[in-house]
Chains A and B, each alone.
Chain A
Amino acid sequence: MTRPKLQPFLRPKHIDQIPCGTCFNAGHLVDANAGWRTDTPVLDQSLCTGCLQCYLLCPEGVIFRAESGLLIDYDFCKGCGICAHECKAKAITMRKGGL
């Protein structure tokens, strides 16, 4: 399973380092979206039934499967609340604050 990861961005210092003709590496992320959140989803694994609807319906794709269960990439979660709203098991709650 791969997804683009945050990486440091080295600003070009010479014109030859500017990408030619607007072509650059796919999946190049230098900036997290965490600062957008006003509320943060928190998943209670004990209530999770593993239906994966939260993973499926997240507009950001930040919910992912790990061995320990479902995890949330808080670097890129915007706190929209769709996961909490759609979870039939009520395993996700939105906590106030960006955590």
Chain B
Amino acid sequence: MTHAHKAFASGNEAVAMGVRLARPHVIAAYPITPQTTVVERLAEMVEDGSLRCEYLHVESEHSALSAAMGASAVGARTFTATSSQGLLYMVECLHYASGGRFPIVMMNANRALALPWNIYNDQRDSLSQLDSGWIQIYVEDAQEALDMIIQAYAIAEHPRVLTPVMVNLDGFVLTHTYELVDVPSQQSVDEFLPPFQTSNKMDLDAPTNMGFTATPADYMEFKYQQHRAMVDAAEVIVNTDRAFGTNFGRNYGGLVDSYRSGDAEFILLTLGSVTGTARVVVDQLRAEGHRVGLVKIRYMRPFPARELAALTRRAKAVGVLEKNISPGYEGTVFTNVNSALAQAGSSPLVLNFVAGLGGRDIAKADIARMFEQLAAGAENPPDERVIFVTLQVAVAPEALVRYADEGL
């Protein structure tokens, strides 16, 4: 039985500690960098007896989520973890789990997608799966990672939600960096998180058929129901966070967390661990007299459309900083933000800062430059709203070889 204590832990280790406290019945484990230390720590916990659960060494990520669904389908609490290529290998199962309303919690280590191969941090893996029907959380530090694993089960298993939850940690920069975390006692977690109960399962006393086909006459209603549950989850998310604060003394603001944005002229929207760096830059710029702030988007699904519209209503310019691009168009977070602001009739200038792809560092100076670009853009809106930050090569048109209009 764990008593409340402090631990010096990496993001991954914090996840493992949170999982142990949540008492899963079944863990399905397949390794992929930089998630590996999660499943390794969990294996050690099973070995030393501090974690009592069934630990399946599965043979692929598709099997990991498939096994988790099988366990969930008989009423077991389940956990798995993955990253990038592994997340994509299980995409069929992502949709299966959300449509099947299995409240699985999965940790994803945000990592760049091949090709080219790159094991370092960016967010294209999870952001490319926003439509898969999973609740998606992006955590900033190891403490939040630990806490959100516990909150994730409470949210996922809530009868009005019954939706799987993906907890995202930036690969290496958060999964493998160390900080001091408060580990709650097992008893306090048991009080907060009741045992998993559901009627969405196979039951020896009341047999069911699951995973069935719905014809064109019925399928849309199932999808509406699923969509509606995710929309309604927003309220459960806020209440769960508040209750977590009451029980553990820490809460995170619900769907978003704002920092010095109340009177800010220029606001940066961030996802994940870069928020920590951005907070420091906000403080530096504020000390110089600039009215800047940030809003950390904690949940990409359900999307905090109203919250973001309200928080940016009085800003002159808003920057969306994401480690993501949808090739040929813009960053996905940018698309989501613009839709929210447009629907709210809100019209600050919005710029997309595409940074950090493939583990490219994002320095404080880079973030300070983003605020400068917001200020400049508020005066003279640029034609190009999508800005790739920190490219090391010239990309101006003059550098390209062009064919003449006539002749070739």
Direct A–B touching in the complex (beta carbon < 8 Å)? yes
| A-chain residues with CB within 8 Å of residue B224 when the two chains form the complex | 15
Whether A23 lies near B200 (C-beta < 8 A) is: yes
Contacting residues, chain B, for A23 (C-beta < 8 A): 101, 199-201, 208-210
Q: What total of A-B pairs shows CB separation below 8 Å? A: 50
Q: A95 to B345: give the CA distance in the assembly, Å.
A: 73
Q: Which of B209, B221, B228 contacts A28 (CB 8 A)?
A: B209
Of listed A12, A15, A21, A24, residue having the most chain B CB within 10 A: A21
Instruction: List residues of chain B with CB within 8 A of the CB of A12.
Output: 221
CB-contact partner of A21 in B100, B209, B221, under 8 A: B100
Interface size in chain B (residues, C-beta < 8 A): 22
A18 contacts B by Cβ under 8 Å: yes
Question: Closest A-chain residue to B212, C-beta based?
Answer: A22
B188 contacts the other chain (CB 8 A): no
Asked if residues B207 and A26 are in contact (CB atoms below 8 Å), the reply is yes
Whole-angstrom distance between the Cβ of B196 and the nearest chain A Cβ? 14
B226 surroundings in chain A (CB, below 8 A): 21
Contact across chains for B101 and A25 when beta carbons are under 8 A apart: no
Q: Are B221 and A22 in contact (CB under 8 A)?
A: no
Q: Does B102 contact A (CB under 8 A)?
A: yes
A8 contacts partner chain B, Cβ-Cβ < 8 Å: no
Q: Is B400 an interface residue (CB 8 A)?
A: no
In the bound complex, how far is the Cα of B207 from the Cα of A12, in angstroms? Answer: 21
Judged by a CB distance under 8 angstroms, whether A51 is at the interface is no
Which residues 1-46 in A have Cβ within 8 Å of B in the complex? 12, 15, 18, 20-28
Is B277 an interface position by the 8 A CB rule? no
B242-270: contact bitstring with A at CB < 8 Å (1 yes, 0 no)? 00000000000000000000000000000
- 13 more contacts with CB within 8 A, not counting A21-B102, A23-B199, A24-B212, are A15-B224, A18-B218, A20-B101, A20-B162, A20-B199, A22-B99, A22-B100, A22-B211, A23-B101, A23-B209, A25-B208, A25-B209, A26-B207
B residues within 8 Å of A by Cβ?
99-102, 162, 199-201, 207-212, 214, 218, 221-222, 224-226, 228
Query: Hey, which bits of chain A sit against chain B, CB under 8 A?
Result: 12, 15, 18, 20-28
